[in-house]
Amino acid sequence: MRLRVLARLLRIQRALVRHGLADFVRATHLYRPFRFLAYLSPWTWFQRSMGVTRGERLRLALEELGPIFVKFGQAVSTRRDLLPADIADELAKLQDRVPPFDGALAIVAIEQAFGRPVGDIFGSFDRVPLAAASIAQVHVAALKDGREVIVKILRPGMREIIDLDLEVLQSLGRLADEYWADARRLRPVDLVREYRKIILDELDLLREAGNAAQLKRNFAGSPLLYVPEVYWDYCRVNVMVMERIHGVVISDLEELRARGTDIPKLAANGVEIFFTQVFRDNFFHADMHPGNIFVQIDDPRNPRYAAVDFGIVGTLQARDQHYLAENFLAFFDRDYARVAALHVESGWVPRGTRTDELESAVRTVCEPIFNKPLKEISFAQVLLRLFETARRFDMQVQPQLILLQKTLFNIEGLGRQLYPELDLWQTAQPYLRRWMRERMGPRGVLRRIRRQLPDTLLALQQLPQIFQTAVREAGEGRSRQAEDSSAAALRDAMRRSDARRDATTAAAVLWLSGLAWLALATQAPSLGWLLMAAAIGVFVWSRSSGLRGE
């Protein structure tokens, strides 16, 4: 382990102890190699109770440790199979908002990115940030033509801080693999690797701009979701400029109701937006907490969502997308046998799992919540029971689905807050059935064939070249060893084939001669029968002797 990683681990230990979490240091398997240091720490000797729950103390410690730990806490808070419920509930309260950095530093970053004064770039620029998050903050500005925009700027030194903390997480993941009994099933190293990709993507604002542009194309002309326009001429790796949108924060229910917003329709539209992103587009906004979602209510009877912050988006492999859709539909049909079979087919549970036992376990969890509105369902508890079932059946964590699971939790929280009467099943079921019909119907099949046709034709065009290469390599002696080992067998097979052909020809001649003799001869018909018997003998001998070629 590198020295700087060890130093960072010790600082983490100190923060945990300072927040009254020495029991984590002493007990957790992740810190087993270092827990003896807790006993030598003055913070341990003079520790006093903080007067709050362990979950709250852990949340405060993560906030002190910095942005990557805040975000990691948010991510793992969705993994209730990894955490006790009280800790997961407290970590879910973590917010992206942190104290802003100085506006003067923001101006320096902009001028370095563009190579000219900020006054030459914008008509106006507000030094006071509109909002601040763990990785970046945003300022209001106006372009030279008067268009109002939002300027997002990365915090200075973020890459160095995050690189160090990623090293720490990787080290912790390796320690978990070594000391944690559930590591094989929960795959901490893979989870950290997946998280690394997510967090590093957030540091590239050009990538975020591309995400926003893609989502805007996906919902072009849609009455459901508005995505602000990206101004590409003003975007750099650490600076992004996009249209400023106005609306009501989705968590401000009082304002929404005061303006006469159709709340049930807004909630139903949110479900449709989610399933459209995941299944139709396979490109979904994966950071849908209330601070990133606004509602435009120019027409209160037809409210429209507006999204911001596109640093985290998710996609699914076609295989996972298919299995998820099939699982949803099987659940809607209460076909728990199909749910169990799909989990085995997808590899999410081991091949040897008894589907009848898994079916019974899934039915026990899901049947009590079927057709109930959100207000009567605790998804956290349902998923906790599902994860306990998964542990029983040795179901492995799927790192590629962690963003989707995080988004599902965000959607559930928004839906519960916005319209608790929402029947998620009845709202989602028609959309999924329509998507499956389109996907599996003739038009969907033809679309996939048309999409794959260029690759197929390209592969066919390459076949002659591949064949020529193989022939050339054989001619150059690269296949000589294989040729030497098979040449004798080939020559022997050819000899037997020739002999078998000659014997078959002789048998045919004898058979025809015998038939001709019997047909034409008036005396000694026995000769004809003798010739035919000889033909049978020759034929049988050729098939039963070494001429068979076996």
Residue 443 burial (10 A CB sphere; 0-12, 13-18, 19+): exposed
Cα–Cα distance measured from residue 51 to residue 42, given in angstroms and rounded to the nearest whole number: 20
Share of the chain above pLDDT 70, in %: 67
241, pLDDT greater than 90: yes
Question: Catalytic annotation on 190?
Answer: no
The per-residue pLDDT for 260 is 93
- Per the model's pLDDT, the better-predicted residue between 177 and 224 turns out to be 224
* Maximum C-alpha span of the chain: 128
d(CA 433, CA 429): 6
Between the CA of residue 330 and those of 370, 385, 433, 500, what are the distances in Å? 12, 19, 11, 60
Could you give the CA distance from residue 265 to residue 422 in angstroms, rounded to a whole number?
A: 10
What is the rounded average pLDDT of the residues 11-23?
74
Phi-psi region of 15 (alpha: psi -120 to 50; beta: other; left: phi over 0): alpha
Kind and range of the H or E element at 154? strand 148-154
* Predicted local distance difference test score (pLDDT) of residue 243: 96
Q: Which range among 197-211, 375-389, 467-481 has the greatest average pLDDT?
A: 197-211
pLDDT for position 307: 93
Q: Is 302 exposed, middle or buried (0-12, 13-18, 19+ CB in 10 A)?
A: middle
Q: Is-contact 166 196, C-beta < 8 A?
A: yes
Q: What pLDDT is attached to residue 147? A: 94
Tell me 276's DSSP state: I
Question: Does residue 52 share a domain with residue 191?
Answer: yes
Q: Write out the two tokens for 345.
A: 């087919």
Selected residue with higher pLDDT from 210 and 184: 210
pLDDT for res 475: 62
Tell me how far apart the alpha carbons of residues 415 and 129 are, in angstroms, rounded to a whole number. Answer: 30
Tell me, yes or no, whether 422 and 525 share the same domain: no
Given a cut of 50, is residue 211 above it in pLDDT?
yes
The residue with greater pLDDT, 186 or 69, is 69
Find all residues with CB under 8 Å of 389, minimum gap 6, and list them: 358, 361, 362, 365, 395
Residue 470 lies in a domain: no
Are residues 415 and 275 part of one domain?
Answer: yes
Pull the structure tokens for residue 116: 């000219």
Segment 270-278 mean pLDDT: 89
Domain range for 516 is 491-548
Structural domain includes residue 287:
yes
What pLDDT score does 223 carry?
A: 94
Helix (H, G, I), strand (E, B) or coil at 239: strand
Long-range contacts of 225-229 (CB under 8 A, 24+ apart): 225/273, 225/304, 225/305, 225/306, 225/307, 226/296, 226/304, 226/305, 226/306, 226/307, 227/306, 227/307, 228/150, 228/306, 228/308
Q: Which two tokens stand for residue 39?
A: 């006993």
Chain CA centroid to CA 210, Å? 19
**Which pLDDT score, from 0 to 100, does residue 302 have?**
93
Q: What pLDDT, on the 0 to 100 scale, is given for residue 204?
A: 92
Residue 464 lies in a domain: no
In a domain, 174, yes or no: yes
**406 DSSP 8-state letter:** H
138 CB contacts (<8 Å, ≥6 apart)? Answer: 129, 130, 131, 132, 150, 151, 152, 153
Q: Which residue has the higher pLDDT, 295 or 31?
A: 295
pLDDT recorded at residue 21: 72
168-172, 200-204, 293-297, 516-520: segment of lowest average pLDDT: 516-520
Mean pLDDT for the chain?
A: 77
User: Within a domain: residue 118?
Assistant: no
The reply to whether 52 and 170 lie within a common domain is: yes
The residue among 313 and 437 whose pLDDT is bigger is 313
Task: Please determine, for residue 101, whether its predicted confidence score (pLDDT) is greater than 80.
Answer: yes
More confident residue, 360 or 19: 360
Choose the final residue of a domain: 409, 440, 471.
440
Work out the average pLDDT over 433-439.
Answer: 78
Whole-angstrom distance, CA of residue 110 vs CA of residue 236: 9
What's the pLDDT at 185? Answer: 65
279: its two tokens: 């299944």
Q: Residue 186 has what pLDDT?
A: 64
pLDDT, average across residues 141-165: 91
- Catalytic site residue from 281, 287, 298, 299: 287
281 and 395 share one domain:
yes
Cα separation, 378 vs 237, in Å, equals 41
pLDDT category of residue 355 using cuts at 50, 70 and 90: confident
- Name residue 107's amino acid: I
User: What is the predicted pLDDT for the residue at 433?
Assistant: 83
Residue 38 lies in a domain: yes
Q: For the CA atoms of the chain, what is the radius of gyration? A: 35
Q: Do residues 406 and 531 share a domain?
A: no
pLDDT bucket at 550, cuts 50 / 70 / 90: very low
pLDDT tens for each residue of 26-71? 555 555 555 555 555 555 555 544 547 878 888 788 877 877 777 7
Higher pLDDT, 87 or 446: 87
Q: What pLDDT, on a 0 to 100 scale, did the predictor assign at position 184?
A: 67
- What pLDDT is attached to residue 81? 47
8 Å CB contact between 343 and 331:
no
Phi, psi (deg, nearest 5) at residue 349: -130, 160
The answer on 405 and 292 residing in a single domain is yes
Mean pLDDT of 474-482: 55
The whole-number pLDDT of residue 488 equals 61
pLDDT at 190 over 50: yes
The residue length of the chain stands at 550
Percent of residues, the chain, with pLDDT higher than 90: 22
Contacts of 72 (CB under 8 A, 6+ apart): 62, 169, 195
**What does the pLDDT read at residue 49?**
44
Cβ atoms of residues 400 and 249 within 8 Å: no
- Both 43 and 176 in a single domain? yes
Query: 408 and 518 share a domain?
Result: no
Quote the pLDDT of residue 523.
Answer: 54
**252 and 371 inside one domain:** yes
Q: Decide if pLDDT at 97 tops 70.
A: no
DSSP letters, 78-89, are T-TTTS-HHHHH
In three-state secondary structure terms, 467 is: helix
Q: Are residues 529 and 414 part of one domain?
A: no
The answer to whether residue 126 sits within a structural domain is no
Task: Out of 23-37, 364-378, 466-480, give the one with best mean pLDDT.
Answer: 364-378
> Please, which pLDDT band fits residue 306 given cuts at 50, 70 and 90?
very high
* Same domain as 507, residue 425: no
> Has residue 409 got a pLDDT over 60?
yes
Identity of residue 1: M
What band does 207 get if pLDDT is binned at 50, 70 and 90? very high
**Strands, DSSP E only, in 228-374?**
239-243, 248-249, 284-285, 293-296, 304-307, 313-314
Residue 467 has pLDDT above 90, yes or no: no
Of the spans 51-60, 148-157, 163-172, 436-445, which averages the highest pLDDT? 148-157
Quote the CA–CA distance of 250 and 306 in Å, as a whole number: 10
Number of domain units in the chain? 3
pLDDT tens digits, 115-144 = 999 999 999 999 999 988 778 899 999 999
- Average pLDDT, integer, range 348-356: 83
Joined tokens for residue 264: 């049930």
Q: Where are the alpha helices (DSSP H) in 151-289?
A: 158-179, 183-186, 188-202, 205-218, 253-258, 263-275
Query: C-alpha dihedral over 33, 35, 40, 46, to 10 degrees?
Result: 160
As given in the structure block, the two tokens for residue 127 are 């030094």
